[in-house]
């Protein structure tokens, strides 16, 4: 088996080629929360200015999974400040159960783009055949494209904030700690409390 290629840091390689082709509102798209047991899936869209110098402004932005929580929290507002436009969208646990996780993820992404009017999409593997927009679907896009990496940070911080907000509404589950993912703490809480309305009934969750 060939090991997966590691990308040290995202670049503007794809963006610059598209800027030169006349696209000026490229939206990087990424999501967070697809594999969680509870809470929404969150997607973000980021349009960076067509200026190679933005790579210097956002030089420490990486795939959100490669950044610590404090790093993500520090860089999220800088991404928003540097961007021409950005948006965050959610699809609820109920929408995930009704539509399925992939359509719900796309719905969250469409909501993130509602006010942005992008002319091109760069995505982390997702392909939006439903949209009449030119697009590039990249494997490991959040490690290769700075626009997608920036979106991954906003999606992750946006969803984490949402899950922390559920802590008071549904005490005892530890949502602020595990953010709805399948940890031992979460499993133990489910065994003790059962599922709450934020749990995805279509997922195979212990105790549900």
| Bridge-based pairing state of the strands 120-124 and 26-32 | parallel
Nearest partner of 154 among 55, 78, 205, 66, judged by Cα = 78
**pLDDT in single tens digits along all 208 residues of the chain:** 334 566 889 999 999 999 999 999 999 999 999 999 999 999 999 999 999 999 999 999 999 999 999 999 999 999 999 999 999 999 999 999 999 999 999 999 999 999 999 999 999 999 999 899 999 999 999 999 999 999 999 999 999 999 999 999 999 999 999 999 999 999 999 999 999 999 999 987 765 6
- Over the range 60-72, which residues count as b (16 or more CB within 10 Å of their CB) and which as e? ebbbbebbeeeeb
CB 3 within 8 A of CB 143: no
pTM of the model: 0.95
Q: Show me where the domains of the chain are located.
A: 13-158
Q: Right CATH number for 13-158 from 3.30.9.10, 1.10.10.410, 3.30.420.10, 1.20.1070.10?
A: 3.30.420.10
């Amino acid at each position: 088996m060939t090991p997966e290629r590691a990308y040290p840091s995202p670049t503007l390689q794809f963006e610059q080629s598209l800027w030169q082709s006349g696209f000026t509102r490229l939206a990087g798209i990424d999501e967070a929360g697809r594999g969680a047991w509870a809470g929404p899936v969150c997607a973000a869209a980021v349009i960076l200015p067509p200026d190679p110098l933005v790579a210097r402004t956002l030089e420490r932005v990486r795939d959100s999974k490669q950044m610590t929580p404090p790093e993500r929290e520090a860089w999220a507002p800088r991404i928003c400040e540097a961007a021409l436009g950005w948006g965050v969208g959610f699809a609820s646990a109920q929408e995930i159960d009704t539509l399925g996780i992939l359509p719900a993820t796309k719905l969250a992404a469409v909501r993130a783009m509602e006010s942005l009017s992008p002319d091109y999409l760069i995505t982390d593997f997702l392909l939006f055949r439903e949209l009449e927009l030119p697009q590039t679907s990249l494997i490991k896009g959040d490690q290769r494209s700075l626009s997608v990496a920036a979106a991954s940070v906003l999606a992750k911080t946006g969803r984490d904030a949402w899950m922390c907000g559920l802590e008071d509404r549904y005490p005892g589950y530890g949502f602020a700690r595990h953010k709805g993912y399948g940890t031992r703490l979460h499993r133990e809480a489910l065994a003790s409390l059962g599922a709450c309305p934020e749990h995805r009934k279509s997922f195979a969750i212990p105790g549900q």
